[in-house]
């Protein structure tokens, strides 16, 4: 019987853990860089320009920069628009919202009703899409609240905001995308990144 190991990258200063990540793309890239004799291995990983031998040695599937590019392509926005709107990263809070983009979306959507978008629903949507693309664990309500706090907004009723959002679902502590409504989640995220009306 084989056992599947879960690998984790840990950064230490002496015996003190400074940071750690179980992101498979990150540890694979680090493994490639460590095993490479090329002094430009880090650049090669970022550019996806490794040789076949190097790729097989580290089981490379893409760097963090490549993941942001793929996420931008999924939303059909430019990488610059994506970074400006939510600045996705592989470390908490994972996204950094921008108040100007949020204000633009808010002006084009109603306060209440079926076409309204709750602030927490937006942060949870972006988090769920990004973390799925980055190979990270599904976001929690706490993470969605933390992401929302990057634009100084609090959520009064988090459970209701998720429950009333047809493209999101709660699975225990995690927020996941409704498989039947992923296109709607992408449409909302794209509209936010482009400061457009998601219902037009």
pLDDT, tens digit, for every residue of 37-93?
554 445 544 444 444 444 333 333 444 558 999 999 999 999 999 999 999 999 999
Q: Would the pTM of this model clear 0.75, i.e. be above it? A: no
Is residue 22 predicted with pLDDT exceeding 60? yes
Residues in the chain: 200
Are the C-beta atoms of 175 and 162 separated by less than 8 Å?
yes
Query: Three-class SS of residue 11?
Result: strand
Question: Each residue of 91-110: pLDDT tens digit?
Answer: 999 999 999 999 999 999 98
Are the C-beta atoms of 152 and 189 separated by less than 8 Å?
no
Q: At what angle do helices 79-86 and 182-194 cross, to 10 degrees?
A: 90
Angle ∠(70,72,73) on CA atoms, nearest 5: 65
Supply the pLDDT for residue 178.
96
Percent pLDDT > 90 in the chain is: 59
Cα gap 41→51, rounded to integer Å: 10
Supply the pLDDT for residue 128.
97
Supply the pLDDT for residue 17.
62
61 vs 136, which has greater pLDDT? Answer: 136
- Structural domain boundaries in the chain: 9-62, 67-194
């Amino acid at each position: 019987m084989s056992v599947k190991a879960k690998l984790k990258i840990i950064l230490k200063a002496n015996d003190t853990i400074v940071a750690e990540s179980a992101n498979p793309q990150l540890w694979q890239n680090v493994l490639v860089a460590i095993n490479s004799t090329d002094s430009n291995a880090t650049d090669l990983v970022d550019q996806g320009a490794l040789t076949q031998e190097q790729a097989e040695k580290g089981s490379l599937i893409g760097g963090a920069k490549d993941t942001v590019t793929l996420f931008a392509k999924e939303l059909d926005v430019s990488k610059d628009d994506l970074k400006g709107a939510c600045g996705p990263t592989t470390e908490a809070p994972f996204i950094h919202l921008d108040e100007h983009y949020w204000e633009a979306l808010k002006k084009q959507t109603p306060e209440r009703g079926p076409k309204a978008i709750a602030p927490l629903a937006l942060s949870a949507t972006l988090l769920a899409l990004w973390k799925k693309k980055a190979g990270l664990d599904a976001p929690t309500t706490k993470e969605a609240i933390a992401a929302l706090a990057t634009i100084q907004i609090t959520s009064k009723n988090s459970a209701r905001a998720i429950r009333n959002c047809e493209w999101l679902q709660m699975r225990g502590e995690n927020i996941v995308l409704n498989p039947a409504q992923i296109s709607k989640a992408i449409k909302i995220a794209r509209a936010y990144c482009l400061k457009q009306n998601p219902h037009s």
